Chains A and B, each alone.
Chain A
Amino acid sequence: MSAAPAATVEVRFFAALRERAGVDRLTVTPPAPALVSVAALCDWLAGQTPQLGRALGDTPRRMVAINEVLATMDSALRDGDVVALFPPVTGG
């Protein structure tokens, strides 16, 4: 049985989460279980580096957009998606 083809997603961070992560975008190839939901991807990302783990841990309230459309932590991910993670918005 062959492994599922690797899926690549681009992760973008904004505002306080971007500063805490020390990076504004990452291209990652997570294992399939990390793509079942945004929450699963966040858990996987948090284990990649100590700084990412702290950044996500310090930003417990998060919003997400997939391909520039607001999504939820339950949303599934596909190869090529752009996943943006950010704190609740504060415009206006």
Chain B
Amino acid sequence: MSAIRVAIETCPLAPARALGDDGASGARVVFSGQVRDEQGKVQALFLEHYPGMTEAAMENIARAAQQRWPVNLIEIIHRVGELAVGDEIVRVTVCAAHRQAAFEACAFLMDVLKSEVPLWKKVLSGGVWHWVEARDDDARAAARWRAP
């Protein structure tokens, strides 16, 4: 039986724990997204979310990945609130018997998270906060997983 865990965190993430060490998973893929400084232009980041829906949307994309790839465990943790440069924003862990399912499910989860999960980034740059605009290539990255 494969498991799904999702969490929204307001504090810096603890170091990754060993997941999927139950003997069934030969592969563990972890994606960790971190705050870039953009050559010193970014001083801080703020993440807004939609409490309730954000968690539900993270569970939905994890269920979609579970139906598509033979995975044993999916964990998605996303930070909200104010983040410093270098802080981990998101951590997606996928455990599976074999590496291909783990790699693909992890890539799918990140691409779909960026286009479907209600989270919005604001950047502090030059002492001024501004909202980050959605990127067309993020939309294209999510679209590549849709059935042809």
Interface residues of A (CB under 8 A from B): 12, 14-16, 61, 63, 65, 68-70, 84, 86-92
Contact = CB atoms under 8 A, between A and B. Distances in A.
A62 to B, nearest CB: 11
A74 B8 CA distance: 31
Interface of B: 33, 47-50, 52-53, 56-57, 78, 89-90, 110, 113-122, 131-134, 139
Contacts of A88: 115, 133-134, 139
A26 to B, nearest CB: 16
A65 B54 CA distance: 11
A92 to B, nearest CB: 4
Nearest to B112: A92
A87 B50 contact: no
A55 B123 CA distance: 20
B110 A15 contact: no
B50 A14 contact: yes
B57 A70 contact: yes
B99 to A, nearest CB: 22
Given A68-B50, A91-B113, A91-B114, A15 B134 contact: no
A50 B47 CA distance: 28
Contacts of A63: 118
The 3 closest A-B pairs by CB, nearest first: A91-B119, A88-B134, A15-B120
Contacts of A87: 120, 131, 133-134
B114 A14 contact: no
B33 A14 contact: no
Given A68-B52, A84-B50, A91-B120, A61 B134 contact: yes
